Structure 1
Amino acid sequence: MEDIRVQFGTLLKKLRKANGVTQEELAFRAELDVSYLSNLENGRSSPSLAMIVDLACGLGVQPFELLVGMVVDQKPERERRPDRKRRKDE
């Protein structure tokens, strides 16, 4: 499965181009360096939640639109030790 950073970068670039926005324009709108935006689009960096919101605002979309279509591997449930009690919220 494709790395989550690569998936995010691919979706970000696709949305940016679909909205007719250059890297320079989006970097300016989201208040970040063009080199960092390039790293995001190429899967070399991971954005914070705040950065996802800033990027979405710069593109004029909702933050969830930067995540739609991403596929992540489900981590296996960790094994419980039989001598440990379950927490009430589990």
Structure 2
Amino acid sequence: MDVVKLLGDNVRRYRKLAGISQEELSLRTGVKRSYISDLERGFRNPTVRVLGKIAEGLKVQPSQLLILDGTSFK
């Protein structure tokens, strides 16, 4: 299992469920929009600190971003 890809898919899924853009998530977290884009595509391996910021911006627990839930949300 590629955990970086899983994380990116979950960030995208929760962001879309929240109805916010990458730009809005960037504003909420202080993380650059391009970094969020790279993260969602599985090109970035974030630090625990960044993972926490993203989770806070999405209003989910950090662990939720690392759980394989069996759904495919593209």
Percent sequence identity is 38
The runs of 5 or more residues in structure 2 that have no matched partner are 70-74
Question: 1 or 2, which has the higher helix percentage?
Answer: 2
Higher RCO (C-alpha 8 Å, min separation 6):
2
State the Cα RMSD in Å: 1.3
**Structure-1 residue corresponding to 2:59:** 60
TM-score (norm. length: structure 2): 0.85
Deviating beyond 3 angstroms after TM superposition, the runs of 4 or more aligned structure 1 residues are: none
Aligned length, in residue pairs? 69
CA distance, structure 1, for counterparts of residue 26 and residue 4 of structure 2: 18
**TM-score, structure 1 normalization:** 0.71
Question: What is the aligned partner in structure 1 of residue 35 from structure 2?
Answer: 36
Instruction: Point out the structure with max Rg over C-alpha.
Output: 1
**Gaps (5+ residues) in structure 1?**
71-90
